[in-house]
Amino acid sequence: MEAVAVHTLFLIAVTVIFMFFALAIFFGWVKISEKVANPTICNSKLLTYCTEWSHTDYMKIPYDWSDKASGCVKINISPDLDKCKVLLQQK
């Protein structure tokens, strides 16, 4: 009887771990953060964008902002040179 309980607990643990990774992959694939845009998420994306852009001395744009942060464009948060320099305290 004890062996059944151990196997049951093992099966439950494996199922929970599988469901966790399945949900993580699903939500990453659906890109929930793209649909739920708020200033905090958008400013975090803006900081990442500006950091990548500054590594090229602002010569080469890292990627199209509207592709990765389409929700942020809707709430008028978008990168420009002056905003990035202020954000990274380079001005």
Residue 48: how many CB atoms within 10 A of its CB?
13
Distances (CA, A) of 32 to 8, 21, 41: 34, 16, 11
Question: Longest C-alpha distance within the chain, in Å?
Answer: 71
**Residue 52, pLDDT score:** 93
Mean pLDDT of the chain: 84
Give me the DSSP letters along 48-61.
Answer: HHHHHHHTTTTSS-
Contact 72, 78 (CB under 8 A): yes
For residues 18-36, give the mean pLDDT.
75
Q: Give the residue extent of every domain in the chain.
A: 1-30, 33-91
**32: confidence class by pLDDT, cuts 50, 70, 90:** low
